[in-house]
Amino acid sequence: MSKLIKIFLDTANVEVIREIAGIYPIDGVTTNPSVLAKECDNVGDTLMSISKIIGEDRFLHVQTTAATAQEMFAQAKKMKAVFGANFYVKIPITEQGLKAITLCKNADINVTATAVFTPMQALLAAQSGADYVAPYINRIDNIVSDGVDVVAHISKLFSVQDVKTRILAASFKNVQQVYGTVANGAHAVTISGELCKELLFHPYTEKSLDDFRSDWEKKFGKREITDFI
Ligand code: E4P
């Protein structure tokens, strides 16, 4: 079965990544400077550990910290040399960022344009060659706008203009936001480990399993299905 939507973990917490990636269909990890500052003291070691945990079949997105296009490009080249073909550099959607996106794409470095708040920012990133654009859903909601609606507009714009850049929706606080973005054209989402678990959890699923177990044990005790087969 082909996987249409990609799910990334938006964290640098190595234990969370190890646990969630061992269970859920995770396609990679995204980080940003705030996430790294929160989760680790040795950034290099943490990113190497994450890279090893996710392996060669998943993707690692790491944001630049530089201010100018040339510096962002230099950081992207250095990180690609370390993290390999599945590395994506996250570049903020600013004037220097646009220039850096072009430099990176000319050097065959995968790019995610980040901190996207509007469809026109997304279009400019796409025109500059970005592979992904990352609209920030909850931060958009927080400024009395509608993050899911922004994704819907980006999706429509990309579709009308036949733009191949994909939408990696980011900055989520709840399941409804995640559902809204994937139902409105996002190709990928990046979420916390906690939110990933919340996508799966439903109390009535738990109750149904309790009921099955209880009905079974009333009749068959501790025997299991395969004891009869
Ligand atoms: C993604 O890569 C973004 O940096 C991230 O999702 C932002 O999330 P926040 O708004 O919860 O900080």
70 and 78 Cβ atoms separated by less than 8 Å: no
Q: How far is the CA of 160 from the centre of ligand 1 (A)?
A: 28
Tell me: pLDDT of 1 over 50: no
Q: Which ligand 1 atom sits nearest the alpha carbon of residue 8? A: 2
- pTM across the whole model: 0.96
Band (2; pLDDT cuts 50, 70, 90): low
Q: Which ligand 1 atom sits nearest the alpha carbon of residue 61? A: 2
pLDDT given for residue 4 in this prediction: 82
Band (48; pLDDT cuts 50, 70, 90): very high
Over residues 60-80, the pLDDT tens digits come to 999 999 999 999 999 999 999
Residues near 165 by beta carbon (within 8 Å), at least 6 away in sequence: 122, 125, 126, 130, 131, 132, 133, 158
77 catalytic? Reply is: no
Q: Which of 6, 38, 78, 90 is catalytic?
A: 90
| Cα Rg of the chain, angstroms | 20
Q: How far is the CA of 218 from the centre of ligand 1 (A)?
A: 49
